[in-house]
A and B are shown apart, each in its own frame.
Chain A
Amino acid sequence: MRYKLEKRREPSTTMLVVTPVASVIVTMLIGILAFDALGVDGWAAVRDIFLTPLLASHKWQDVAVKAAPLVIIALGLSLGNRAQVWNIGAEGQYIIGALCAAGVGLAFGQAGGFFVILLMIAAGVIGGALWALIPAVLRTRFSVNEVLSSLMLTYVSLQVLGYLVGGPWKDPNGRNFPATAPLPESQMLPSLEGSTMHLGIIVALILPFAFWLLMSRSTFGYQVRVVGSSPNAARHGGFDAKQTIWATMLIGGAMAGLAGSLELTGALHKIDLGFPSGYGFTAIIVAFLGRLNPFGCLLAGIVLAVTSVGGQLAKTTVHIPDSTAGIFQAMMLFLILASDILIRYRIAKRA
C-alpha cells in the first residue's frame, strides 16, 4: 500500500504536542540500538542518560541547577524564533552577562547584600541585552544576517572572558590560575539550606508564566506572532518588523545575560575559562523541543538538563564519553524538525 502526504485544513495541535514526546522516545530507541551495535550495553546507557537523573532523587538538584539557565535562555530565544529572528549567539550574551555581573561584584569589593546582588543581576541583564543589540542593529541598519553576526560575537566574547580572567580580573591569591576570585558570601544568591539549589531556579519556574502572558495576552506577543508567520500581513497591519527584531533580540540577550549572572551568583561563584559550558547552544534545542511555547520550554529544559546530568553519569557507569549526550540532544532536534511536517500534513492512503 502506498501513502502520501495530504495538507491539513488546520495545523494539528495534537501533533504539536505528540511529536516532541515521540522525538524523545525515538531518540532513546535509536540510542539503545546504536549502543548495542557498538558493543555497549544500550539499555544501561540510555537508562542512565534519560531516566536515572529523574528517578534518583539525589540527582534532582543537579538537574534543577542545569535546567534553570537552559529554560531562561530558551524562553528568550523562542520569542525571537517565533518572529523568524535567529539569535544563535546566546552563549556570547550569557558570557557577557556573567562578566558584567562579576564586574559589578568586583567594584563592590567585599560588600554585598540584597542590593548589590540585585545590581549584579541587573548588570548581567543589561550586558546581555547590549551584546545582542549589536546583531540587531547590524540586521536592521545594514541588513547583516543575524545568524552569522551573533555567532561571531560569541567567539569575540570568549576572548573578552579570556582577557579579563587572565589579566585585570585574575584572582591575586589564585596561584596564577586564570580565574576571578570566588565571590564573597555576601554576593552569592541564597540557596536552599544544605543544597546547591539557588534562587535562580525559582526565577526559571516563574518566568514561563510571564512569557506566556506576554505571548498570548499582549499586543506585543500578537505582533511577534504576526511578523513571524506572515510578514506581509504584519506590514499591512502596521506592525514594524524592525521594531520586532530589536525587541526580540534585546529580550533574548537580556534572558541570556540573566542566566549568566544567575549562574555566577547562584551556582559557580567565580568565572574561569570553563565558565562557558554551551548553555546558549543547548537552549536552541530546548526552544525547538519546547515548540517555542513557554511551558514547553520549561519541560524541554528539564529533559535536556536530564540528558546532560545523565551523560556525566553514564561516563562513569557505562564508560561512554560525555559528548554522547550532545549527540542525543542533536538527534532529538533532528527528529523534532523532521516531524514538523506532521503538524501541517497528514499521512493518507493513496487512492
Chain B
Amino acid sequence: MDFMIAAIITIVGLTTPILLAGLGELVVEKSGVLNLGVEGLMLVGAISGFAVTVFTFNPWAGVVGAAVGGALASLIFAVLVLQLNSNQVATGLALTIFGTGLSSLIGVNFTGRIVAPFGSVFPDVLAKDPFWKLFFGYSPIVYFAILMVFVVGWFLKKTRAGLILRAVGENDLSAHSIGYSVIKVRYMAIAFGGAMAGIGGAYFSLVITPMWAEKMTAGRGWIALALVVFAGWRTGRLLAGAYFFGILMALELYAKAAGFSFLPSQFWAAMPYAMTVVALAIISSRGTAGASAPACLGKPFTPST
C-alpha cells in the first residue's frame, strides 16, 4: 500500500511538467503554429524560475519568473515566424538550441545553490498524512496543472476568444477576411505556450530536484510535443496521455524495486522515448490524429494584400 502511494506520487510528479508544456503547445498548435522550441523554453523556465527564487526566497515569485522567462523567449520565435514568415520547423529547433545555451550560460552562477521549497497547499493534517497525502500532499504546481486542463478545455470550447483562436488555426484566411487579427491571436497563443512550458520547466528546478542542472529537462519538452499529437489536440486526452507517459517514466525508477533487474536500467530509461514512437505510430496510422490536426498547422500566414 505504502509502495503504491509512493509510486502514484512519483507518477504525478513526472507527469506535471509534460502536462503543463503539452497544454501550452496544444493552444499554440490550435492557433495554427508549430513550435518545436518547447524543450528550450522549458530550460529557460527552469533557470529563470530558479534564479528568481534564489533572489526573492519565494518560489511563487519563481513560478511567475519562469512563466515570464518562457513567454519572453517564445516571443523571439513569434517575431521570426509571424513577422518574417520563417520556416517554423527550423525556427523552433533554433529556439531549443538557443534556450539550451542561454539556460546553461545563466545557470553557471546558480549551480550548487538551493532554494526555498513550496509550503503545503493544504494543512499538514492532510498534506503529511500517510494516506491523504496522495490527494493533498503535492506542490501547488501540480494542482495548477490539473486546473489548467479544465481551464484550457473550457477556453477552447466555450469562449468566444477560444472560438476565434480555433478559427485562426483552421482557416487563417477566412478569419482574416472577417476581421480577426491572425498575427495578434498567434502572438498571444505563442506567449501562452511559452509561459506554460516555462512553468513546466520550473517544476524540475523548484520541485523535483530542487536545484539547477544543465539540460535538466532531459528531452521532456519533446515528449510534450509528442503528447499533443498523441492527444489528437484534445485536452481530455492530453491529460490521459500525460499520465500514460508518466507511468512509463516511473517504470525506470521502480523497475529495480519491482524485481525487473534482469533487464538493464538503460532499457527502462529508453522506454518512454521508444514508447512515444510506438504510440505515435499507433495514433497516426489510425488517421484520427491527422484528421483532427488544425488545418493551418505549420503553414505561414500570407494574406494576398
Can you list, as one digit per residue, whether each of A84-126 has a CB less than 8 Å from chain B (1) or not (0)?
Answer: 0010100000000000000000000000000000000000000
Known A138-B277, A148-B229, A153-B273; contact A326-B101, beta-carbon cutoff 8 A: yes
Residue contact A330 to B94, C-beta cutoff 8 Å? yes
User: Chain B interface: which of A240-248, A261-269, A331-339?
Assistant: A331-339
Q: At the interface, yes or no: A17 with Cβ under 8 Å from chain B?
A: no
How far is it, in angstroms, between the C-alpha of A321 and the C-alpha of B107 when the chains are bound? 10
Q: At the interface, yes or no: B123 with Cβ under 8 Å from chain A?
A: no
Residue contact A341 to B284, C-beta cutoff 8 Å? no
Task: Name A152's contact: one of B269, B276, B290 (CB within 8 Å).
Answer: B276
> Interface on chain B toward A: helix, strand, loop, or mixed SS?
helix
How far is it, in angstroms, between the C-alpha of A88 and the C-alpha of B280 when the chains are bound? 17
Residue contact B269 to A159, C-beta cutoff 8 Å? yes
CB-based closest 5 A-B pairs: A326-B101, A323-B104, A330-B98, A159-B270, A327-B101
How far is it, in angstroms, between the C-alpha of A284 and the C-alpha of B92 when the chains are bound? 12
> Interface on chain A toward B: helix, strand, loop, or mixed SS?
helix
Residue contact A147 to B89, C-beta cutoff 8 Å? yes
Q: At the interface, yes or no: B58 with Cβ under 8 Å from chain A?
A: no
A-side contacts of B273, CB under 8 Å:
152-153, 155-156
Residue contact A288 to B277, C-beta cutoff 8 Å? no
| Most chain B C-beta atoms within 10 Å of own C-beta, residue among A321, A324, A329 | A321
Give the number of residues in A that approach B within 8 Å (Cβ atoms). 43
Can you list, as one digit per residue, whether each of B133-170 has a CB less than 8 Å from chain A (1) or not (0)?
Answer: 00000000000000000000000000000000000000
User: Chain B interface: which of A53-61, A160-168, A181-189, A218-226?
Assistant: A160-168
B-side contacts of A152, CB under 8 Å:
222-223, 226, 273-274, 276-277
A residues neighboring B (CB under 8 Å): 86, 88, 134, 138, 141-145, 147-149, 151-153, 155-156, 159-160, 162-163, 166-167, 281, 284-285, 288, 320-321, 323-327, 329-331, 333-334, 337-338, 340-341
Other A-B pairs, 4, CB within 8 Å; known A134-B277, A152-B276, A159-B266: A144-B284, A152-B223, A159-B267, A340-B85
11 contacts between A and B (CB under 8 A): A86-B89, A138-B281, A142-B282, A142-B285, A153-B277, A155-B270, A155-B273, A162-B266, A323-B105, A326-B100, A340-B86
How far is it, in angstroms, between the C-alpha of A125 and the C-alpha of B301 when the chains are bound? 40
Residue contact A284 to B104, C-beta cutoff 8 Å? no
Q: At the interface, yes or no: B90 with Cβ under 8 Å from chain A?
A: yes
Docked complex: B44-94 residues within 8 A CB-CB of A: 76, 79-80, 84-87, 89-91, 93-94
Known A144-B280, A148-B229; contact A329-B101, beta-carbon cutoff 8 A: yes
Residue contact A338 to B86, C-beta cutoff 8 Å? yes
Known A86-B89, A159-B270, A341-B85; contact A149-B101, beta-carbon cutoff 8 A: no
How far is it, in angstroms, between the C-alpha of A43 and the C-alpha of B287 when the chains are bound? 55
How far is it, in angstroms, between the C-alpha of A326 and the C-alpha of B86 when the chains are bound? 21
Docked complex: B263-299 residues within 8 A CB-CB of A: 264, 266-267, 269-270, 273-274, 276-277, 280-282, 284-285, 287, 290
Task: Name B90's contact: one of A159, A281, A288, A324 (CB within 8 Å).
Answer: A288
Whose C-beta in chain A lies nearest to the C-beta of B268? Answer: A159
Residue contact B80 to A334, C-beta cutoff 8 Å? yes
Minimal beta-carbon separation of B75 from chain A (angstroms)? 12
A-side contacts of B80, CB under 8 Å:
334, 337-338
